[in-house]
A and B are shown apart, each in its own frame.
Chain A
Amino acid sequence: MSNTTNNDGLSNTAGNTSTAVNSVDRAAANKQVNVLEVKDLSVEFTTRHGTLKALNEVSFTIAAGEVVGVVGESGAGKSLTGAAIIGLLEPPGRISGGKILLAGRRIDQLSDDQMRQIRGREIGAIFQDPLTSLNPLYTVGHQLTETIVTHLPLSWSQGRNRAIELLEATGIPAARERIDHYPHQFSGGMRQRVVIALALAAEPKLIVADEPTTALDVSIQAQIIELLKKLCREQGTAVMLITHDMGVIAETADRVVVMYAGRIAEVGKVRDIIHAPRHPYTVGLMGSIPSVHEHVERLVQIDGTMPRLNAIPQGCAFNPRCTKVMDRCKVERPELQALESSQVACWLYPEGKNNER
């Protein structure tokens, strides 16, 4: 089983001979069907004050075995994207346009029942708060076994054995005894491991992880990230990692999707995004992260704040805060254009040409 991963953003996982998919043209030529394909997804909220567009034509893909990080700040819409994919959008939110394809099959228009079958079996979910992800009234073993037998053709005792294997694989000591413990008997980091086990129990094709390490201490974060990487590599599971923590992305992701105000600003390999960002927002974002290696007097600061949903500027949503704003930006909204191995939605790079002054 080849498990080499180097942080250049390329990953070779078991059974996957293709490299990470990047530009739009290559995707079409790729024989591999993408595990996840999101096309022009739009999500709206209808309130008594009017209809708010929370996601505005978001498009990206995730290939099998790939880890794609979705970054953005609060209000950018990354959690919403995750919720829409898993099918857990709360009303008054609803998908108002576009499509979501899981392994080539359309899932955004399925009924609740059909979605429920997909959830767990084909898509696993990991959320931020391990406390609320687990039912406090049932033992960990019960919840795991239940998930397994619901989605796989196994008996309860077979499922239970598999649950013990999973717990051991996630590094929980004395799994055979602890399987009958309740969630409150585990510490935060241990609980998150159980949640990971739960998400991977039915061997899904895709895991959607929404801020899986934000609530954990930094030393535990490292453990959990390692675990997630290892297990997903072994099973060839694709991961959609939603977070605002660039550090976690730097270590884990192959590609990064940067979101701003419900739209995608830039998509690219993790190294490009961190070291050679194109979109002015991404540039500002990377510059504002303090580093332990060098000391600066002042951090790069993007003036202003992300616009609220009911006050998104015309044209490019970032234009009021952009240091390189042009007249065109205030009127026309830029679309994602392929640029070498990245995609950028910015008038500095129209039609894939580098026009940066």
Chain B
Amino acid sequence: MARRTATATKSRATAATKTRKIPAPTLAVERFTLDNGLRVVLGPDRSAPTIGITINYDVGFRSEPEGRTGFAHLFEHLMFQGSHTLEKGEADKLIEGNGGVENGSTRSDYTNYISMLPSNALELGLFLEADRMRAVRITEENLKNQIDVVKEEIRVNVMNRPYGGFPWIDLPPVMYRTFNNSHNGYGSFVDLEAATVDDAADFFARYYAPGNAVLTVTGDLDVAETTKIIERHFGDIPRRDVLPIPDCSEPVPDKERRAAKDDPMAPMPAIAVGYRVPDPISQLEDFLAAVVLVEVLTDGDASRLYQRLVKRDQIASHVGGLLGTFGDPFDVRDPTLLQFLAYHPGGSAEQVLTALDEEIDRVAEGVADDEVQRVITSITSAHLRRLDHLLQRAMLMCTLEQQRGRAELANELPSLIAAVEPAAVSKIATEWVRPDKRAVLEVRPGGSR
């Protein structure tokens, strides 16, 4: 039995103020929870004969125990190795062979499985997710094979390239003190090679319970029919206990933390600077001011750090900024980082830091309203662009529902961001983005060429 707990939102009302002319999105959101605890969000949109399916399990690399680095990601690979009904490779054949695409990703706070299919294959796509939520088939052979594949993934993305793992692997151990927050989510080869079939079965039992997942389906679907299909395939998966979300909290540093890394393949020095920010979930209003702050400093050629470091001082060839582990501010829980990056062949790390501090001080002193307004317009437009893609829309709604119980935020974020005042942006700069609270990682080039 499904318990329907909400209906479509029509949040057109609280739209833009002043001169802003961007209408708020009005995507439909339906939600219900199955008796086994699986939460479901449906986002019907009949404009094209396609559906997007996302299922998030509330386990990311921050949940891994010591001695098991990289296990969440390795396990993501194992979820494609066969399920209750199907042998290895058969689910892939059914998805691609019916005109669809699929993937999976492991992030700091969740692991997702995504697919996009022609809508005639809606039931098939849902069956396949249910089938591997019911059970996975992990053999010695498949485990060994996927450990090899993951090692090649790490070689191609980290070990065999300059700036591999910069900054997502390199910066957390400088900023954080706890194992959960600081360790390498790709894992060490030693830990990966130590993984056993029993470990995998245990991981599945702990983290892949229906009550630890959110399923989101967007696109060409009928709500009543899709609800029935979901009940049919997921409904009899037994309920299992759900572990509490791990407590990853740790204090904000009270003095600067620094480290340097030699990269023999890197042709020029680089630096990553991280700062803690307000809790993305419990302090959303303040967190949104940080979202605006990072764009004031790094969004495009008009941004302050680009103008300062690249154009005026000519220290850096490239600057960037991101909020969250991989740059999505809305897929992370606290603690998370605001990160600035610079590749700086034209000056020293100290010069970059001095300029950065001066620019942040300027923001702390005050930001002009029109500057904030154009940055907000830019952020909102980028958000709309993301919503135009069915699968990206499903992924966003799924994570918003899982971490906040609010898939509707996909509609509401533009108005919430539009309400950010310049003073709030300055306040983040004043209170959080301070030299004595930051972590700094320098990459020293090996001059391999």
* A and B assemble together: no
Q: Which residues of A contact B (CB under 8 A)?
A: none
Q: Which residues of B contact A (CB under 8 A)?
A: none
